[in-house]
Structure 1
Amino acid sequence: MLWIKALHIFFVIAWMAGVFYLPRIFVNLAMETDKNTTARLLLMGRKLYRFSMWLSVFAVLFGAILVYMQYGVHMPGWLHAKLTLVVLVIGYHHACGPILKKFERGENKRSHKWFRVFNELPVFIMLAIVILVVVKPF
């Protein structure tokens, strides 16, 4: 079980790095006017989105194995809350795909300030997840 937990933690960290950085690329894209730099940022964004999507699959897979091994179908309340937040992070990550497509088509209407706020959302969700896992408040 410790191997599964180690792999879960590794893939979560790697996935979250992508989830934290991709919106930062959006901030830069929203401010950029140079076509060459924009093309480079779009390439980085596409690659990061795809790569972090695969990392999320493994994070969720190893997490599901851990939940099954430890609790079966009788999960404590804190775990229900954690899994709800994980679904929110998955939704956030998936929402980045259409945003990236808008940048590729030159259709983005949002400012870099909006993306700076958008960039902070997964940080707070991840903080709540860590607190739930470590403190197990209920």
Structure 2
Amino acid sequence: MAVEKQTDASAGRRAARRAFVALAVFLAVILAVYLLQPDNFDRWITAFHVIAVIAWMAGLFYMPRLFVYHTDAAIGSQQSETFKVMEQRLLKVIMNPAMMITWVLGLYLAWNLFGFQGGWLHAKIALVVLLTLAHMHQSRAVRQFAADGPRRSARYWRMMNEIPTVLMMLIVILVIVKPF
């Protein structure tokens, strides 16, 4: 009996199905809260926003680490092919949905709770735009690795790993402290 590898197509389809079900359940819970409109509705939306942010940040922190190791793998090797699968799944199953949910719920909160007012909020949104650009940069790198295109150095990806960290720290400070 052959052992199925997680890089096999059938394992990928099962992982995609599980991720789709989890995302559908999460969206159904958000919809249920929206339809029920509890007194603390905005707190529920804030909680869902924070959950999405955590998932997005986890992906933004992990993806450059995968790139560091992928850079060292020989093109065409089994290790390189495994990294391609890992990067694709991380991007499509976790990072992209989490980013979209973060944006939708974040814009709702900015509008509903703050009326898009406040210098701290404008600065936060600008930093989230930069975080989105970092996401897009990582997404482009996933496509380049998948095509066995030119690779940046492991050192480059180690440095790029710091950008989401710094942006996240600044965003958290703005949200909690609201300095201006």
Normalization by structure 2: what TM-score?
A: 0.73
Q: 2 CA distance for matches of 1:109 and 1:95?
A: 13
**Could you tell me how far 1:122 is from its partner in structure 2?**
0.6
Name stretches of at least 5 consecutive residues in structure 1 with no aligned partner. Answer: none
After superposition, give the CA deviation of every residue in 1:11-59 in whole Å (9 maximum; x if it has no partner).
0001110111111111111111271111111100011111211111111
Q: 1 CA distance for matches of 2:156 and 2:178?
A: 33
Matching residue of 1:4: 45
**Could you tell me how far 1:109 is from its partner in structure 2?**
3.4
How do residues 80-99 of structure 1 correspond to structure 2 at under 5 angstroms? 80-99=122-141
Matching residue of 1:123: 165
CA RMSD of aligned residues (A): 1.2
Matching residue of 1:60: 103
Matching residue of 2:57: 16
Matching residue of 2:175: 133
Matching residue of 1:46: 88
Q: 1 CA distance for matches of 2:148 and 2:103?
A: 33
The residue type paired with residue 103 of structure 2 is V
SS of 1:107 mapped into structure 2: coil
The residue type paired with residue 96 of structure 2 is M
Q: If you compute each CA radius of gyration, which structure gives the higher value, 1 or 2?
A: 2
**Could you tell me how far 1:79 is from its partner in structure 2?**
0.5
Question: Which structure features the higher share of helix residues?
Answer: 1
Q: 2 CA distance for matches of 1:17 and 1:67?
A: 23
Contact 2:145 2:151 in 1 (8 A): no
Contact 2:131 2:167 in 1 (8 A): yes
**Could you tell me how far 1:120 is from its partner in structure 2?**
1.0
Matched, 1:29 2:58: no
How do residues 92-107 of structure 1 correspond to structure 2 at under 5 angstroms? 92-107=134-149
**Could you tell me how far 1:105 is from its partner in structure 2?**
1.9
After superposition, give the CA deviation of every residue in 1:97-118 in whole Å (9 maximum; x if it has no partner).
2211211222223110111001
